[in-house]
Amino acid sequence: MTKFAIVGCGHIAKKHAEAIEKAEGTELIAVCDMVPESMEYYTEKYGVAAYTDLAELLKVEELDVVNICTPSGYHAPLAIQIANAKKHVVVEKPIALTLEDTDAIIKACKENDVKLSVVHPNRFRPAIMELRKALDGDLVGKLSHANATVRWNRNQEYYDQAPWRGTKSLDGGVLMNQAIHNLDLLLWTMGEVEEVYSMAATRLRNIEAEDVSTGVVRFKNGSLGVIEAATTIYPSNYEESLSIFGETGTIKIGGKTANYIQHWDVKEMDEAQVTDIMESVKADPFGKPGHQCIIEDMVEAIKEDREPIVTGEDGKRALSLVLALYESADTNKPVKL
C-alpha cells in the first residue's frame, strides 16, 4: 500500500483526496495546512492525521508520496523540502512560477532519488488519447498548424475568494492558471516550441495578471500554432478546444472542456473506423478521472523504478511556454525559447 499525504487543503485538494481514495493500492494518511480549520473536511471524511508543520509530517516513516496543492508560488520550497525528506512528489500545475524554481525542484528530486510528477491530467482524456494515437501512427501526416483555445469564465467573485488569486507572485493569469493544461496538450501533440509572439491584457477582472491572451507560435518541426485564452467570457465557460491540421488529417477536440471529438477526418481511416472512435469517446468522454490516473501512475513509477508519465521536465516545458508568452507580451517582441 502506497501512503499519501496532501499539503495545502484548498479546493483542488479535494480532487486529490478523491483520486487517492479511488486508486488501487493507495491510502491517504495525512493532510497538512497552516490553517487547522482547512483540514477539518479531510480529518472528518477520511479519518486522517492533521499537521500544521510540514517538517513534522515528513518525519512519518510510512509516508511515501506528498501531493502539493498550495498556491503555485509556494510549490518550489515545499517540493524541495519534501524531496530532501526522501518522499516522492506530486505537484499541482504549474510546477512553479519561475524556471529557476523549477530547476531547483527537478534537481532536488534527482539528488534524492525520488519521483516527481506534475498534475497535467488532461492527457488522460479519452479523446486526447485517441488524438495522440493518431499522431503517433503518423495518420495526420506532415503537420501544418494547430489551434489551442480556452474561452472560459472566471468572474470577479472567483478571484476575490482568496487574496493570492490573480497575483503574479503566487498565481498568474489565464495562461498560467487556466490555459496551462491546454498548452501542455499543445506541446504533447505538436512538439517543442521554437518562437512565440504574444499580446495580453487585463480587460474585465480587477487582478494583477492577465485575463485575456492571444499568441502565435512556431514549433521546432516548422509547423505553426495559434493560442487564445480568456477568463472574460460571458456568462460562463464557452469552450476549450485543440485543433490539429496535417497533410492527411484534420482533428478537433472540443466542448466546454476538451473532452469531445468535434471533427475527425483522416485519410487512412474509413468511415466505420472514424465512427467507432467517435462513438467510443461519446460513450465515455471523461474516462477515468485524470487525477486518479496521475496517482496510479506515480504508484506504478515507484514500483517499476521509472519516470512518471508527466515528468518535471514536462512541467518545465509548459511553464517555459507560458513565460515566453508573458515576455513577448511585455516587450512587444518575438521571443525564442
**What pLDDT does 274 receive?**
97
Tell me which long-range contacts 324-330 makes (C-beta under 8 A, separation of at least 24). 324/193, 324/196, 324/198, 325/175, 325/196, 325/198, 325/200, 325/213, 325/215, 325/227, 326/175, 326/198, 326/200, 328/196, 328/197, 328/198, 328/215, 329/198, 329/199, 329/200, 329/210, 329/213, 329/215
**What pLDDT does 324 receive?**
98
**Fold for the domain defined by 2-121+291-308:** Rossmann fold (3.40.50)
Tell me the per-residue pLDDT of 96-139, one tens digit each, with 9 for 90 and over. Answer: 999 999 999 999 999 999 999 999 999 999 999 999 999 999 99
**What pLDDT does 122 receive?**
97
Q: Is 212 helix (H, G, I), strand (E, B) or coil?
A: strand
CATH fold match for the domains 2-121+291-308 and 123-287+319-336: no
Contact status, residue 227 vs residue 234, Cβ threshold 8 Å: no
**What pLDDT does 221 receive?**
97
Look up the pTM and report it: 0.96
Residues facing residue 50 across a β-bridge: 31
Class of domain 123-287+319-336: alpha beta
Tell me the per-residue pLDDT of 256-272, one tens digit each, with 9 for 90 and over. Answer: 999 999 999 999 999 99
**What pLDDT does 108 receive?**
98
Q: Which are the contacts of 67, defined by CB distance < 8 A and separation ≥ 6?
A: 4, 5, 6, 7, 13, 16, 20, 90, 91, 92
The mean pLDDT of 154-183, rounded to a whole number, is 96
Q: Which are the contacts of 241, defined by CB distance < 8 A and separation ≥ 6?
A: 147, 148, 149, 252, 253, 254, 255, 258, 262
Tell me the per-residue pLDDT of 5-47, one tens digit each, with 9 for 90 and over. Answer: 999 999 999 999 999 999 999 999 999 999 999 999 999 999 9
**Which letter does DSSP use for residue 232 in this model?**
B
Pairing mode of beta strands 193-201, 249-254:
unpaired
Note if the bond before 94 is cis, omega within 30 degrees: yes
**What pLDDT does 281 receive?**
98
**What pLDDT does 69 receive?**
98
**Angle at 135 (CA atoms; ends 134, 140), nearest 5 degrees:** 85
DSSP string, 125-191: SHHHHHHHHHHHTT-S-SEEEEEEEEE-B--HHHHHTSTTTT-TTTT--HHHHTTHHHHHHHHHHH-
**What pLDDT does 119 receive?**
98
**What pLDDT does 44 receive?**
97
The mean pLDDT of 158-173, rounded to a whole number, is 95
Distances (CA, A) of 71 to 68, 78, 136, 171, 177: 9, 11, 35, 6, 10
Rounded Cα distance, 254 and 278, in Å:
13
Helix (H) or strand (E) holding 71: none
**What pLDDT does 309 receive?**
98
The mean pLDDT of 48-57, rounded to a whole number, is 98
**What pLDDT does 265 receive?**
98
With CA atoms as reference, report the closest residue to 6 among 26, 297, 24: 26
- The owner of cell 481514495 is 21
**What pLDDT does 152 receive?**
98
| The amino acid at 25 | G
Tell me the per-residue pLDDT of 288-317, one tens digit each, with 9 for 90 and over. Answer: 999 999 999 999 999 999 999 999 999 999
Phi, psi of 219 (to 5 degrees): -85, 160
Hey, how many other C-beta atoms are within 10 angstroms of the C-beta on 302? 16
Q: Is 36 helix (H, G, I), strand (E, B) or coil?
A: helix
**What pLDDT does 169 receive?**
94
Domain boundaries, the chain: 2-121+291-308, 123-287+319-336
Rounded Cα distance, 250 and 240, in Å:
17
Tell me the per-residue pLDDT of 211-267, one tens digit each, with 9 for 90 and over. Answer: 999 999 999 999 999 999 999 999 999 999 999 999 999 999 999 999 999 999 999
